[in-house]
Amino acid sequence: MKLFRRNEFYVACTILALGLLIQGISGQFFTANNITDLARSVIVPGILGLGTMMVLISGNIDISFPAISMLSMYAVIKWFIVIHYQGPVALGFILCALLGALLGALNGILAAWLKLPTLIITLGTGSIYLGFMQAVLKSSVISVLPPSVASLSKLFLFTVYNTKQDISSSLPAVFLFLPVIGIILFFVMQYTMLGRGVYALGGDSVACERAGFNVARIRIFVFTLMGMISGVAGLVRVVLTGMVQPTTLIGYELSSIAAVVLGGVSLSGGKGTISGSLLGVMLLTMITNSLILMGIPSYWSKFVTGILIVVGIGITSFRTLRAKRRVNAVIPEN
């Protein structure tokens, strides 16, 4: 069956098996509170994971997006405080998205112009963005948010109560950003020539160019959209935490890449789905949260993340090698 060939099926089975295991150990996994907390924990990693998915499918890599996200949200919130902004929070998201798009576009322009590995380019630009935030903007923790941002942080879709343990869990309204961004990216990647160009670029850049796609423009688009998504994710993070922490997203590049690779996105480009990426994010988030439920120190999550990256890359490499062997078996090399 075609279902058994899809990576998403095995990730979903792993999520279900892990959930049953944790439920058997702690008895708390399938509670309404834990499911709500899990959904809350997925918001920012999910948004960033969708952007990472798109970049990897295009055959590129971006490790500067946490810096873009932090710089965008810090600059906007700091400016709002300086001018005593009292307007709607929508302007904050628009400004973060625009600033993130500008910083991301710089990555894309450098990648198209210098034609260097994007890992090197984004490593350099990420350091520049962080240095600018720390040295020029004098970044520090901001605990008092602008009124509109503070109000959004108190807006929830629903709240569930556990009367036995006397605890409650709420799902923030900013959760809606995740499905909205996912739907937009699904439409772009599946139903537009631009999305097909992204897949083609990751599959073979030379063939992509010969097919009539503008490789430079596609690369700039991918990094610009990644920057825009990062800017939005930064302000979402502020809303969730109720404060601005300039270093709050450091290390997210590792977990985002690990999550989408687990979800079936190929590091070599040309392959990946939104559903698989979100399932990968869910799996990685479940593992991190489950360690806490089982009383295991949270710093072990980095150890587990590293193992999952190796496993994910190994599975991808194995499938690529197997596909090449099948092709060679049909068309023997001369």
User: What DSSP line would sit under 146-173, residue for residue?
Assistant: -HHHHHHTT-EEEEEEETTTTEEEEEEG
pLDDT beyond 60 at 333: no
Domains by residue range for the chain, with CATH: 3-321 (1.10.3470)
Alpha-carbon distance of 29 to 23, in angstroms, equals 5
User: What DSSP line would sit under 229-286, residue for residue?
Assistant: HHHHHHHHHHHHHTSB-TTTTTTHHHHHHHHHHHTT--TTSS---HHHHHHHHHHHHH
Alpha-carbon distance of 296 to 290, in angstroms, equals 8
List pLDDT tens digits, range 159-202. Answer: 998 777 778 889 999 999 999 999 999 999 999 999 999 999 99
Backbone angles phi, psi at 12, to 5 degrees: -65, -40
Predicted local confidence at residue 127, as pLDDT: 95
Predicted local confidence at residue 323, as pLDDT: 66
Alpha-carbon distance of 25 to 19, in angstroms, equals 10
* Residue 312 token pair: 């994910």
Write down the mean pLDDT value for the chain: 88
List pLDDT tens digits, range 30-89. Answer: 888 889 999 999 999 999 999 999 999 999 999 999 999 999 999 999 999 999 999 999
Alpha-carbon distance of 9 to 50, in angstroms, equals 19
pLDDT beyond 80 at 332: no
| Nearest alpha carbon to residue 80 among 268, 250, 244 | 244
Check if the beta carbon of residue 18 is closer than 8 Å to that of residue 282.
no
pLDDT beyond 80 at 133: yes
List pLDDT tens digits, range 278-301. Answer: 999 998 888 877 776 666 666 676
Q: Tell me the Cα Rg of the chain.
A: 21
**Exposure string for 287-319, b = 16+ CB within 10 A, e = fewer:** bbbbbebeeeeeeebeebbeebbeebbeebeee
Alpha-carbon distance of 292 to 154, in angstroms, equals 25
Check if the beta carbon of residue 169 is closer than 8 Å to that of residue 32.
yes
List pLDDT tens digits, range 84-121. Answer: 999 999 999 999 999 999 999 999 999 988 888 899 99
Q: Regarding predicted confidence, which is higher, 22 or 209?
A: 209
Residues in the chain: 334
Alpha-carbon distance of 97 to 181, in angstroms, equals 12
